[in-house]
């Protein structure tokens, strides 16, 4: 659940942005993230909101998305570095310090992988009670 009061406390650099804009961005940020059952889920949402707001401020200031490697003044020319990340998601999050923090939290909260569907016995050599299936005998047809 997004808390505007906590967001304002943690990120005072967005004080010039109205509450309505922050809440609308929070609704948008929820589309990018799912709840991982991690105690940091609220923090991840706030970081995504800060990331989106920072990108918006950068865009309104005439900035470009990406790392500028070269610029020419006469007959305007700007060179942007290609994405150094393995995927565009990580590259996009790496455009702000908030996105970089979010990547770190996502890696911590999703470490270990997920097990989807089926019985727990299928993910192990033994049954749930610690007993080998079929009494330890091999399966024969």
Would you state the structure tokens that stand for residue 130, as one six-digit string?
A: 């610690």
86 vs 21: CA distance, rounded Å: 32
> What is the pLDDT at residue 13?
94
User: Cα–chain-centroid distance for residue 44?
Assistant: 7
pLDDT digits 0-9 by tens, 96-129: 999 999 998 888 877 665 555 555 555 555 565 6
CA-to-CA separations, 18 to 26, 29, 48, 58, 92, in angstroms, rounded: 12, 16, 17, 17, 24
Q: Give the chain's residues under pLDDT 70.
A: 35-37, 62-71, 80-85, 111-141
Could you state, in order of their start, the residue ranges of all structural domains in the chain? Answer: 4-114
Among 13, 6, 79, 80, residue whose Cα is nearest residue 51 = 13
* pTM confidence score: 0.66
> What is the pLDDT at residue 57?
87
> What is the pLDDT at residue 136?
58
């Amino acid at each position: 659940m997004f808390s505007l009061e906590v967001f304002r406390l943690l990120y005072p650099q967005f004080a010039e942005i109205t509450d309505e804009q922050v809440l609308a961005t929070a609704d948008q940020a929820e589309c990018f993230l799912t709840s991982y059952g991690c105690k940091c889920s609220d923090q991840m949402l706030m970081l995504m909101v800060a990331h989106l707001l920072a990108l918006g401020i950068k865009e309104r200031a005439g900035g470009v998305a990406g790392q500028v490697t070269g610029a020419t003044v006469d007959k305007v020319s700007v060179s942007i570095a290609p994405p150094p990340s393995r995927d565009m998601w990580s590259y996009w999050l790496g455009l702000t310090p908030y996105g970089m923090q979010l990547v770190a939290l996502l890696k911590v909260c999703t470490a270990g992988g997920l097990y989807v569907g089926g019985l727990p016995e299928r993910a192990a050599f033994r049954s749930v009670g610690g007993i080998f299936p079929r009494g330890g005998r091999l399966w024969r047809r």
